[in-house]
Copies of this chain bind each other. A is one copy, B any other.
């Protein structure tokens, strides 16, 4: 059973910016030639996440509002107090809760995504960074 790895580099801006990578995941699946199995999207960072979104402008704004409310930026996070120059304690806490790994089944060469499901990367950090994402495809 073959295993194929594809790598994405995304120039992101932080501050809960969202990037839709559904087309890249689908292209990687097609290029693999595999027909059934699992695609795993894995973000190689602790202040960014992958999740499934109905990608319309309202929910992009709501996502930012949600995180600013649930886990606010705060100079008093210990990560900021104990590490000189750091201000992204909240970014880490958001990233670890939303998660950096997502697994999607595919069959007949097609991802099992529902009509409104998009795969997105969210950058929770406080400055622009290049983000590395692994798209791994395993199947038959």
Contact = CB atoms under 8 A, between A and B. Distances in A.
Count of identical protomers in the assembly: 3
B42 A99 contact: no
Given A96-B53, A139-B138, A36 B5 contact: yes
Interface string A83-113: 1000001001101111111111101000011
Interface residues of A, number: 61
A40 B105 contact: yes
Interface of A: 1-3, 5, 36-38, 40, 42-46, 51-54, 56-59, 61-63, 65-66, 70-71, 77-83, 89, 92-93, 95-105, 107, 112-114, 116-117, 132, 134, 136, 138-140
